[in-house]
Chain A
Amino acid sequence: MKLTTTKRLERLTERYMNGGLDRRAFLGLAAAAGATAGLSMRWMSQALAAVTEVRFDGWGGVVQEAIDKYAFQPYTAKTGNKVTQGTFGDESEIITKVKTATPGEYQIIHSSGVEYYKRYVDGGYNSEINEANIPNMKFVMQAMIDPFLKITPKLSGVPYDYGTTGIAYNTTVISEAEAKEKGAALLFDPKYQGKIGGYGDMTTRVWYAALATGQNPNDIKDIDAVWAKVRENRDLVKKYWSSGAELMDLLAKGEIVVTDAWSGRVAALQQQGSPIGYLDPAGSYAWMEDMLILKGSPMAECEELVNFMLDPATAIAVAEGQNYPPSLDPMKVKLTEKIAKMPAFDPTGTMKSLTFADPNYWASNLDAWTKQWDRISKGG
């Protein structure tokens, strides 16, 4: 997206009027802007016009379709600026791409929360956003912002939505009563051997194994017991899925009858008429997603897009489309009934009812546990 010269000068004036800029600096910058405008040549305007699109990478499927339909398309219609989109099935995949790309090639990532936020920071890919350019941040729950601030005092992204990874089950095979009674133990029930699925991701596997061994996933005392439980689950599982689309396909086709699943994807299946139930057992894995702006991105343009996405009207429409509650604080913004009925929705705006992964605890074990999970998943 290209900011017009007028808009830049308006911002400059605003900063000066607000006292954020002294008179000397203001006059200097205004003169420089005038000189640039006066001396600009044809190729300069073409070069500037090149920043008329922003790159976005997300999770694809129904989630990205909702973002595209309710955020990007209206944004393009309003501003004329395009949003180029890419998708990934696993966030490590996009981190690998970012690592190999030149700074600025990838710009905004629909990142899956605090644990991954730390990975970007460790890799040196984080930027520093100017919150003044994202006035709609005032609507975002502080409880969602704080975990990110613990990692970087200056944010590189803005929390956008949240959800849970609960238990999805085929209601033609497993009754609601059985699901409620067994909860997460369904994933370890030999009765459903060969009909169980699961997300092929270390965090989810360790989280549910910790719950199954009666441990706090954010303070595991006996990791060997957890790995034993992970192996137990592995031997019962038919397929570890690797994307939301694959999860929906496996459940819809009846290849699996129970799996841990992303709440929004299950809601989408239910809306399509599939006989799928969903429950969040005690300690269910909750996560929050953010719109992460990477280092080297055109910051002003990215901030403007993120601000547009956080506009309550846009964020609510996206939330309803993707079936994940928005990061908007229900105490500040009136959310719709549909959102209030979504799994994981927290009406208090404090997020105290949800159990998130402790980013520092999980980050300190990430490498060793990921390696161990990769081995166990392959029969090790």
Chain B
Amino acid sequence: MSASMLSAADRRRPWLLLAPSLITLFVLMIVPIGIMTIFSFYEFVTAGVEKEVFTTANWHEFLTDSFYHMFLWKTIRVAGITAILCALMGYPAAYCIAMTNYKHKWLLLLLLIVPFWISFTIRTFSWIHILGEQGVINVLLLKLGLVNEPIRMLYTEGSVIMGMIHFLLPYMILNVYVAIEGIDRNLISAARTLGCTAWQAFREVVLPLSLPGLMAGLLLCFVLAAGSYVTPQILGSTRDALFGNIIFDTIMDELNWPMGSTLSLVLLIFLGAVAAVYSRYMGLSRVLKGLSG
């Protein structure tokens, strides 16, 4: 009897330990999503006023209005470019940190985290002083006589992507670093012993084994970039807006909460689908299968 009571307590323990997380998730995620879902079926009356009647008008508008489709596609494109550039820039950096023999490796990792000590908004604003017409680059180019008039770099799609890379690169490097750091060095030594060149050892051993980290970094960068609205707001022109900015304007400018909720759910569903596809096709299982084969 005592054993069965203990068993019941044991069964409850994981739930008790998980309870704070589950309650937090429920209150801060499930409930708001539920409220947004309800709002998406309300009727917009005028700015800041909605009627609590069931209507599918907002969903119909999203599905039939090419304006929203265009911005969803644009968001996918910009987020995709950002994630790929983060991977191209982040992988070599992560590889170097992981493989270095420098005894103070912690210092390199600390440097990666240092940007997080400064406010994200301030870091984004700092690009105005670098890319602006009176910014460091233009002033330097003008003084060196390389250009006759300032080059337009700010308030473009390029400056938005650059701002997002600035914000997302540490996430990519950390993900890849953890993956490379976890690789058994004996495998690389074995590959070299069996005749692989350094490049072949990297291509055949390090790269496949670090793919989970790279993919996780790509997913993280893509999702965060696709949901971004502050960076395009600060570094882009209105034409460089992403889907997040459309949501922001619908809610904050038009005060159209039903439509804003609908668009928020669309982005949530889309990013959720991307994560699901990653998990199904690009996740660890594929890499592990490759290894076992």
Q: Is the CB of A367 within 8 A of B48?
A: no
Instruction: Determine if A95 is an interface residue (Cβ-Cβ < 8 Å).
Output: yes
Q: Is the CB of A378 within 8 A of B239?
A: yes
Instruction: Determine if A238 is an interface residue (Cβ-Cβ < 8 Å).
Output: yes
Q: Give the distance in Å from the alpha carbon of A255 to the alpha carbon of B256 in the complex.
A: 33
Closest CB in chain A relative to B269 CB, distance in Å: 22
B238 touches which of A90, A200, A254 (Cβ 8 Å): A200
* Chain A residues whose C-beta falls within 8 Å of the C-beta of B253 in the assembled complex: 90, 92, 370, 374
Q: Is the CB of A378 within 8 A of B254?
A: no
Nearest chain A residue, comparing its CB with the CB of B259: A371
Instruction: Determine if A55 is an interface residue (Cβ-Cβ < 8 Å).
Output: no
Instruction: Determine if B47 is an interface residue (Cβ-Cβ < 8 Å).
Output: yes
Q: Is the CB of B255 within 8 A of A96?
A: yes
> Which residues of B120-156 have CB atoms within 8 Å of chain A's CB atoms?
132-134, 152, 154-155
* Chain B residues whose C-beta falls within 8 Å of the C-beta of A370 in the assembled complex: 47, 253-254
Query: What does the 1/0 interface line of A340-380 toward B look like (CB < 8 Å)?
Result: 00000000000000000000000000110011001101111
Q: Is the CB of A366 within 8 A of B134?
A: no
A374 touches which of B152, B239, B249 (Cβ 8 Å): B249
Known: A238-B155, A378-B239. A254 touches B133 (CB 8 A): yes
Nearest chain B residue, comparing its CB with the CB of A249: B128
* Chain B residues whose C-beta falls within 8 Å of the C-beta of A93 in the assembled complex: 252
* Chain A residues whose C-beta falls within 8 Å of the C-beta of B241 in the assembled complex: 378
Residue from B241, B251, B252 having most chain A Cβ neighbours under 10 A: B252
> Which residues of B244-293 have CB atoms within 8 Å of chain A's CB atoms?
245-246, 249-256
Nearest chain B residue, comparing its CB with the CB of A374: B249
Instruction: Determine if A119 is an interface residue (Cβ-Cβ < 8 Å).
Output: yes
Nearest chain B residue, comparing its CB with the CB of A373: B253
* Chain A residues whose C-beta falls within 8 Å of the C-beta of B152 in the assembled complex: 194, 238
Q: Is the CB of A240 within 8 A of B238?
A: yes
Instruction: Determine if B71 is an interface residue (Cβ-Cβ < 8 Å).
Output: yes
A90 touches which of B46, B47, B252 (Cβ 8 Å): B252
Q: Give the distance in Å from the alpha carbon of A238 to the alpha carbon of B128 in the complex.
A: 13
Instruction: Determine if A239 is an interface residue (Cβ-Cβ < 8 Å).
Output: yes
* Chain B residues whose C-beta falls within 8 Å of the C-beta of A239 in the assembled complex: 155, 237
User: Which A residues are within 8 Å of any B CB, using their own CB?
Assistant: 90, 92-93, 95-96, 99, 119, 122-123, 194, 200, 234, 237-240, 242, 253-255, 366-367, 370-371, 374-375, 377-380
User: Which B residues are within 8 Å of any A CB, using their own CB?
Assistant: 44, 46-49, 67, 71, 132-134, 152, 154-155, 233, 237-239, 241, 245-246, 249-256
> Can you list 13 A-B contacts with CB-CB less than 8 angstroms, sorted by A residue number?
A92-B252, A92-B254, A96-B251, A122-B49, A194-B152, A239-B155, A242-B233, A255-B134, A367-B47, A374-B254, A375-B67, A378-B241, A379-B239
